[in-house]
Chains A and B, each alone.
Chain A
């Protein structure tokens, strides 16, 4: 179904094969997109209901995709675990963890104290440790930032970081005049200006991408 369709043009002695993309996928994507988009602008009951149904389908499909992803992960690591791959012990650890968690959560249900215990004492400490390491790496990078030819932007960057860090905490109860005001100004003016620019860019990008999909120029649904 995903294959392209071929049309023969010309006489039998001279046939030009012309690849024509399957029009079914773009038709579905464009049709659904237009229905959902119109559902926002036109408050017609039928249109709104169809839009809601489409969105529920999308939710279910993405849920199934997540399940397929987990199964695929399991199969990949199972193959790795039974092979002679050097990192097969990592795969075995992953499989053991996955199966144990599935059994515990499936037996006790996700909100049971035992299920929460796994999350609280295994997953949270590991991820928190990584974030703690990140803080040390960032400080280290900040220290070494001035090592090579510092320019004005480097100095501004470092000064901003130092000011924000100093004012974020209590600073032993000491109040440096102007520092708190400077922090508020940084948070409200330059940071917000930059963030707004980024958000505007994202919005324009999303509009452009949506229009391209609606026009059939972009086909991110698997057709080559």
Chain B
């Protein structure tokens, strides 16, 4: 005996049954639906739940519905009243016929089972089951129709349909493999689909594509470094700088290589004259404290200014104690006495002593001024200065206990701060009427405005002043003889003259030439 499985509950039923004996579900007989000419698409399969023959007696309500449906099945009209061909709707609507409208157009509350078809033979269907069946059938239909057209494997739908259509068949795959009578899953969930193949290209028009390419080109150009306009390796400024240097060097070399009669030294300089007077008044073997506080870059200017003064002091038989508050000072001092620039050769330890470097700036200097022996007990060579093995100090510091025991303090300085510290810390001693110590400064020319106020004030914290090469030359003139400033005086004069000339001519040229050209342009415009 042939049996057919119920698609709802999966239980076997005799093949002649239209409805399931257990769940009253419609038993879909594929063979009969395909082979039996009585079951046409238009009649039986429209609702998906089975067909009902035209021979079955229809209830009144159904007849009235059919009447209305037949009138509705006439060619549809659009909003403007134009007739639309019936084929248009039947093509895309699955299961629809040309003769009869689809069940989807009908009222879903109206059940096709009620009062009609084979259902009446098996018994009356309860209303709850009727509702459930209608909902299920409609939802299945919706799911299928709503599914977008996505490319899928050809085998997959057939298999799915087979599983759906034969719910009682043996499960062949998955965790439930080998079981029969399983309910099929929801079609939308159970179907295994390949992801849709979407194009990565943006669908844009040709005009938009042109704009995109234009924008892309602009952005790419911005990202690429553009080479700067090449500057000429020799600019106008380079030429001017080189020109100044060459003119200056030629002028100086000319005065050195072609010596003429030496120009006269300055006649009189107040500061130098005052220093000369002080040196002349010094006693024999006067103790002189010398501070070397300048940088090596200005060594020639300071040497030239200081050499005549030291020659004069040496001539007077003075002895020196050298000290510095800058690390370069001790070596500068040693070099000054060893360089052969002086008329006399002094011996270290006998006629001069180098006490080295006092760290601490102003604090160190105050400490030295107040307590020279305690601050610098040893010389730069490591010799005990203030108390030798014999118990006596070395000759240059014999009789020195305080800073005021020195007859003169000579300061060679090029830094305004250092000059100020020295002057201010020594000022109480120098300006004290009871002390005979004098402070004289030998400075670079750039420092003159800073130290001159001290020299000009009363009482004088600075008693003598030699400024730069000019001051040294002036002092040389006072003491006579062939002094160091004479070697540089002419070249120095030529250099300063050419520098002044360059500034004057170049400055005027830069000012006058543009003004003239501007005036000429203005006149041309007027014409």
B327 cross-chain contacts in A, Cβ below 8 A: 66
Measured CB to CB, the nearest residue on chain A to B358 is: A59
Q: Which 3 residue pairs are nearest across A and B when measured between Cβ atoms?
A: A169-B493, A143-B506, A170-B263
Bound Cα distance from A223 to B514, whole angstroms: 58
Bound Cα distance from A9 to B495, whole angstroms: 74
Contact between A110 and B452 (Cβ–Cβ < 8 Å)? no
A120 cross-chain contacts in B, Cβ below 8 A: 335, 339
A219 to chain B, nearest CB (A): 18
Measured CB to CB, the nearest residue on chain B to A65 is: B359
B114 CB within 8 Å of chain A: no
Bound Cα distance from A202 to B419, whole angstroms: 13
Q: Which residues does A use to contact B, with CB under 8 Å?
A: 51-52, 55-56, 58-63, 65-66, 109-111, 113, 115-116, 119-120, 123-124, 127-128, 130-131, 135-136, 139-140, 142-147, 150, 158, 161-162, 165-166, 168-173, 187-188, 191-192, 194-196, 198-199, 202
Contact between B263 and A158 (Cβ–Cβ < 8 Å)? no
B230 CB within 8 Å of chain A: no
Bound Cα distance from A128 to B495, whole angstroms: 16
Bound Cα distance from A128 to B493, whole angstroms: 19
Contact between B497 and A146 (Cβ–Cβ < 8 Å)? no
Contact between A158 and B507 (Cβ–Cβ < 8 Å)? yes
B495 cross-chain contacts in A, Cβ below 8 A: 169
Contact between A146 and B450 (Cβ–Cβ < 8 Å)? no
Q: Which stretch in B56-64, B206-214, B367-375, B385-393 binds the other chain?
A: B367-375
B459 CB within 8 Å of chain A: no
- Chain B's interface: helix, strand, loop or mixed, by majority? helix
Q: Which residues does B use to contact A, with CB under 8 Å?
A: 240-241, 244-245, 248, 263-265, 295-300, 327-328, 330-332, 334-335, 338-339, 348, 354, 356, 358-361, 363-364, 366-367, 370-371, 374-375, 380-382, 420, 445, 448-450, 452-453, 456, 468, 470, 489-490, 492-497, 499-500, 502-504, 506-508, 510-511, 514
Contact between A119 and B493 (Cβ–Cβ < 8 Å)? no
B493 cross-chain contacts in A, Cβ below 8 A: 169-172
Measured CB to CB, the nearest residue on chain A to B332 is: A119
Contact between A127 and B490 (Cβ–Cβ < 8 Å)? no
B504 cross-chain contacts in A, Cβ below 8 A: 162
A191 cross-chain contacts in B, Cβ below 8 A: 448-449, 452
A170 cross-chain contacts in B, Cβ below 8 A: 263-265, 489-490, 493
Contact between B334 and A111 (Cβ–Cβ < 8 Å)? yes
Contact between B496 and A165 (Cβ–Cβ < 8 Å)? yes
B374 cross-chain contacts in A, Cβ below 8 A: 52, 56
- Chain A's interface: helix, strand, loop or mixed, by majority? helix
A141 to chain B, nearest CB (A): 9
B446 to chain A, nearest CB (A): 11
B470 cross-chain contacts in A, Cβ below 8 A: 168-169
B408 to chain A, nearest CB (A): 23
Contact between B452 and A187 (Cβ–Cβ < 8 Å)? yes
Given A124-B296, A162-B503, A192 contacting B245 (CB threshold 8 A): no
Bound Cα distance from A158 to B240, whole angstroms: 18
Contact between A131 and B298 (Cβ–Cβ < 8 Å)? yes
A60 cross-chain contacts in B, Cβ below 8 A: 359
A–B complex contacts, Cβ < 8 Å, 15 sampled? A55-B364, A56-B375, A58-B363, A58-B364, A59-B360, A66-B359, A128-B300, A135-B499, A139-B244, A146-B511, A147-B510, A150-B511, A165-B497, A172-B493, A195-B453
Bound Cα distance from A195 to B490, whole angstroms: 30
Contact between B499 and A139 (Cβ–Cβ < 8 Å)? yes
Specify which of A55, A63, A161 lies most central, judged by the most chain B CB atoms within 10 Å of its CB: A55
B511 cross-chain contacts in A, Cβ below 8 A: 146-147, 150
B514 cross-chain contacts in A, Cβ below 8 A: 147
Interface residue from A56, A145, A169 paired with B494 (Cβ < 8 Å): A169
Specify which of B456, B492, B494, B503 lies most central, judged by the most chain A CB atoms within 10 Å of its CB: B503
Bound Cα distance from A165 to B334, whole angstroms: 32
Measured CB to CB, the nearest residue on chain A to B490 is: A170
Contact between A136 and B496 (Cβ–Cβ < 8 Å)? no
Bound Cα distance from A7 to B70, whole angstroms: 98
Specify which of A170, A191, A199 lies most central, judged by the most chain B CB atoms within 10 Å of its CB: A170
Contact between B359 and A63 (Cβ–Cβ < 8 Å)? yes
Contact between A111 and B360 (Cβ–Cβ < 8 Å)? no
A55-B370, A110-B331, A169-B497 known; 10 other A-B pairs, CB under 8 Å?
A55-B363, A110-B356, A113-B338, A119-B335, A123-B296, A130-B297, A140-B240, A161-B500, A169-B489, A198-B450
Measured CB to CB, the nearest residue on chain A to B263 is: A170
B364 cross-chain contacts in A, Cβ below 8 A: 55, 58-59, 62
A168 cross-chain contacts in B, Cβ below 8 A: 445, 468, 470, 492, 496
Contact between B420 and A62 (Cβ–Cβ < 8 Å)? no
Measured CB to CB, the nearest residue on chain B to A131 is: B297
Contact between B244 and A140 (Cβ–Cβ < 8 Å)? yes
Bound Cα distance from A175 to B479, whole angstroms: 23
Bound Cα distance from A144 to B503, whole angstroms: 8
Interface residue from B245, B299, B360, B489 paired with A136 (Cβ < 8 Å): B245
Bound Cα distance from A20 to B507, whole angstroms: 61
Bound Cα distance from A202 to B448, whole angstroms: 17
Contact between B497 and A171 (Cβ–Cβ < 8 Å)? yes
Interface residue from B335, B449, B489 paired with A195 (Cβ < 8 Å): B449
Interface residue from A136, A166, A194, A199 paired with B241 (Cβ < 8 Å): A136
B510 cross-chain contacts in A, Cβ below 8 A: 143-144, 146-147
Bound Cα distance from A13 to B204, whole angstroms: 68
Bound Cα distance from A115 to B456, whole angstroms: 41
Contact between B296 and A119 (Cβ–Cβ < 8 Å)? yes
Bound Cα distance from A135 to B248, whole angstroms: 10
Contact between A52 and B370 (Cβ–Cβ < 8 Å)? yes
A116 cross-chain contacts in B, Cβ below 8 A: 331, 334-335, 338
B451 to chain A, nearest CB (A): 8
Bound Cα distance from A120 to B298, whole angstroms: 13
Interface residue from B299, B338, B506 paired with A128 (Cβ < 8 Å): B299
Bound Cα distance from A198 to B450, whole angstroms: 9
Interface residue from B240, B299, B338 paired with A143 (Cβ < 8 Å): B240
Contact between B496 and A192 (Cβ–Cβ < 8 Å)? no
Given A128-B297, A147-B510, A191-B449, A202 contacting B420 (CB threshold 8 A): yes
